[in-house]
A and B are shown apart, each in its own frame.
Chain A
Amino acid sequence: MENTNTILVNPFAKTSGKGKDIKETAVVGITQVAVLLIIAILFVILGIIIYQGRDKFSWEFISSFPTDGMTKGGIFPALIGTFILVIVMSIAAVPFGTITAIYLTEYAKENSKFAAAVRFSIRTLAVVPSIIFGLFGLGFFIQFVGTGMDTAFNGGELHWGQPNILWASLTMALLTLPVIIVSVEEALKTIPRELREASLALGATKWQTIKKVVFPGSISGIMTGTILAVSRGAGEVAPILFTGAAYYLATLPESLSDQFMNLGYHVYIMSTQSSDVEKTMPIQFATTLVLLILTLSLNLVAVVIRSRIRRKAK
């Protein structure tokens, strides 16, 4: 038994049969521990936030205004502000992202330098720190576009040249653009070449083919992209720090030129600048819980749709 075993052992292996087994188990074990550790951390975060936030978390909390200098009451305006933000953001980013994705899959020639530059830009956009988008929003949208609009239309009176929900949304749209482009592109790639050929062989032009065959097939991809972008946009705070988020507002924003409250920003403010951090702790945890439920559930929906697209493609 021993003998046959040694013959079978790989001559390149440094250790004998038994030692190898132990080492093998240990190595695999270490990698397994890494996985378990990451998953454990994730559930610990989730668990603690749910545990700490559950008392305060209620319909009333979601639907009422903060009171007593934000030490009591709910988060209604922050929730609404976040909704408006992601809606305006989507209106700007979704068409833009979809068209860019259509360019990349349908119009870009294989070895074109231009397409390569577009792809590189999109990937760069995806890794630029979110605070830079905030700076850009301030430097471009507020100082340049906003002030320019005031100069041109309002006779220099300050109206658009200051932080507001429009500029914050547009800033966020730039940030989430790569998310949408990548999702839509992935969906467009799953549309079989045969369908495009069928349409072209019937005498359809390229644009007709895109409109009637390619685009309808990418709706689910656009949906995934939008949901992922919304999830991202709802959670990001850095880009809106100085482009429109407000500490506290007694009323809901009425127009795009108003400032707004935001869930993530609310968490940040409450936990770092509040007069009594200890006292508002339950509010902070509950707000974080709401934010987390919002982003994670959106993400989950997107993942489900996406895996369905992938399965269909197979």
Chain B
Amino acid sequence: MRDIKIQVNDLSLYYGEKKALNNISMQIPANKVTALIGPSGCGKSTFLRCINRMNDLIPSVKITGEMLVEGVDIYDKNVDVVNIRKKIGMVFQKSNPFPKSIYENVAYGPRINGLKDKTQLDEIVETSLRQAAIWDEFKDRLDDSALGLSGGQQQRLCIARTLAVSPDIILMDEPASALDPISTSKIEELVHELKEQYTIIIVTHNMQQAARTSDHTAFFYMGELIEMGKTNAIFTKPEKKQTEDYITGRFG
């Protein structure tokens, strides 16, 4: 099925001896926004970081099961992790621009892919910034340091930086958790626009945000996937008791 972008089969993750993700199986549809919700420490961010193999960086982590992206198991030992990350971009919780200019931040990805041509780079930077809806804000100060921007601008710059690599899937790890309401709504708008071209998976703490932005929602609790379905369904008539408790604010 083309609709299914990511198929997860029986995925478990261990930090040393401790099992942090317990036999997760789910399907993530293409060109939709999927929200991962749950109380903190439930494993939703850990799961997100499994999708572009960022957990490889932690030496004690062991992963079992399958993570099929378009039918290819990205944990197969013949798969190149660097290429995976080029196709699956990631936006982090804390905005983390490089201590370089705005332009250089966006051009970073294309440059490491060996693109040197200045006009092409300019073009990519412009499209990426346009896509992230910050071109008008930044076009006159591309050479300013990215560190001088506000939190919301930094985060959108980070999204633009991710787009510049032209990924297929974008992972967002609580991208708006540190931002004020106005910046948050800008990010949410952006997510909405981007889903036409990208498959987006977003981890969020904020249930309204999940309800507003996502098409599908998965609820994690204690390292397990409790329930997954259309966002509407999850928020109006959840099947599981735990989901209902969480959504109605009885715990979490």
Contact = CB atoms under 8 A, between A and B. Distances in A.
Asked whether any CB of A lies within 8 Å of a CB of B in the complex, the reply is yes
B54 interface: yes
Interface in B31-72: 52, 54, 57, 59
Contacts of A195: 96, 98-99
Contacts of B89: 201-202
A205 interface: yes
Contact of A205 (B82, B94, B99, B165): B82
A69 to B, nearest CB: 57
Contacts of B96: 192, 194-195, 197-198
Contacts of A205: 82, 112
A199 B94 CA distance: 14
B157 to A, nearest CB: 11
Contact of B85 (A110, A111, A192, A203): A203
Contact of A212 (B57, B87, B94, B108): B108
Contact of A203 (B86, B97, B99): B86
A199 B100 CA distance: 13
Contacts of A194: 92, 94, 96
Nearest to A211: B112
A213 interface: yes
A198 B112 CA distance: 13
A208 B96 CA distance: 17
Nearest to A204: B112
A199 B52 CA distance: 13
Interface string A165-207: 0000000000000000000000000001011011111111100
Interface residues of A, number: 20
B59 A202 contact: no
A308 interface: no
A199 B83 contact: no
B57 A200 contact: yes
Given A194-B94, A197-B54, A197-B92, A203 B59 contact: no
Interface string B97-108: 111000000001
B54 A198 contact: no
Contacts of B112: 199, 202-205, 208, 212
Chain B: interface size category: 20 to 34
A194 B165 CA distance: 18
Contacts of A23: none
Contacts of B86: 202-203
Nearest to A196: B57
Interface string B217-240: 000000000000000000000000
Given A109-B59, A212-B108, A201 B85 contact: yes
A194 B83 CA distance: 20
Given A195-B96, A217-B99, A201 B54 contact: yes
B78 interface: no
Contacts of B161: 198, 202
Interface centre among A111, A199, A201, A213 (most CB of B within 10 A): A201
Contact of B98 (A110, A198, A201): A198
A198 B175 CA distance: 13
A129 B208 CA distance: 66
Contacts of A202: 85-86, 89, 108-109, 112, 161-162, 165
A110 B57 contact: no
18 contacts: A110-B59, A192-B96, A194-B92, A195-B96, A195-B98, A195-B99, A197-B96, A198-B97, A198-B158, A198-B161, A201-B89, A201-B92, A201-B162, A202-B162, A203-B86, A203-B87, A204-B112, A216-B99
Given A201-B85, A202-B89, 11 more contacts: A194-B96, A197-B57, A198-B97, A198-B161, A201-B162, A203-B82, A203-B112, A204-B82, A205-B82, A205-B112, A217-B99
